[in-house]
Copies of this chain bind each other. A is one copy, B any other.
């Protein structure tokens, strides 16, 4: 499917992974069909919104009969790059780095975690799952030898920009950035800056307003 000519809105892209999660559950439950109404209820968006979203990608099947769960799931997997087996490294072997490395969802989504790096001598050589933590000084060669696509950054804020530049030069095309700093997407390099506390603040806002 060639989407080059169609600009998919950011908000639609962000819904794709939610569709994927719901369809994956349905698939696990052995369901083979879902109506747009039922999917809409699960997702909390209107059925017409779902049809609009799917129209960016060719529609994914007939409305009258509902959607074929396995077909839709397979298409979503292709779109989301799950079938591409992207290759990852984690930079920063702190608690968050460990948590991400141990998270089964990565493998399930086709990602291949190949390396974990840190500059702390106490950590280098220790294992996370079956991956040994390596010295950050070796990351450049590792990136190019192993054709790493995505780097997960769980670094102190001040180190992030410099490390990201180096990795970009070595060929990394995506950054999943947990450091408290805003990296910018540029040219063919994509960035997702994760600000965990944003959702906590949303929660806090709601509790706070409710008590007024």
The 0/1 profile, CB within 8 Å of B marked 1, for residues 166-199 of chain A is 0000000111100010000000101110111111
Residues of B contacting A206 with CB < 8 Å?
13, 174, 190
Q: 17 A-B pairs, CB-CB below 8 angstroms?
A: A4-B209, A8-B209, A16-B205, A79-B205, A79-B209, A80-B204, A80-B205, A81-B207, A86-B204, A100-B196, A105-B180, A106-B197, A109-B204, A150-B200, A150-B207, A174-B207, A190-B210
Residues of B contacting A191 with CB < 8 Å?
203
Q: Are A192 and B202 in contact, CB atoms less than 8 angstroms apart?
A: yes
Q: Is A208 interfacial (CB 8 A cutoff)? A: yes
A residues whose Cβ falls under 8 Å from a Cβ of B: 2-4, 8, 13-14, 16-18, 20-21, 79-82, 84, 86, 94-96, 98-100, 102-103, 105-106, 109, 111, 149-150, 173-176, 180, 188, 190-192, 194-210, 212
Closest to A209 in B: B3
**Distance (Å) between the CB of A116 and the closest chain B CB?**
13
For the complex formed by this chain, how many copies does it contain in all?
A: 2
Q: Are B95 and A198 in contact, CB atoms less than 8 angstroms apart?
A: no
Q: Are A82 and B204 in contact, CB atoms less than 8 angstroms apart?
A: yes
With contact pairs A95-B99, A102-B95 given, residues A3 and B80 touching in the complex (Cβ less than 8 Å): no
Partner of A13 from B105, B149, B202, B212 at Cβ < 8 Å? B202
Tell me the bound Cα distance from A95 to B100 in angstroms.
9
Most buried by B among A2, A96, A99: A99
Residues of B contacting A14 with CB < 8 Å?
198, 202
Sorted nearest first, the 10 A-B pairs with minimum C-beta distance are A81-B208, A17-B201, A95-B99, A81-B204, A96-B99, A95-B98, A17-B198, A192-B199, A190-B206, A192-B203
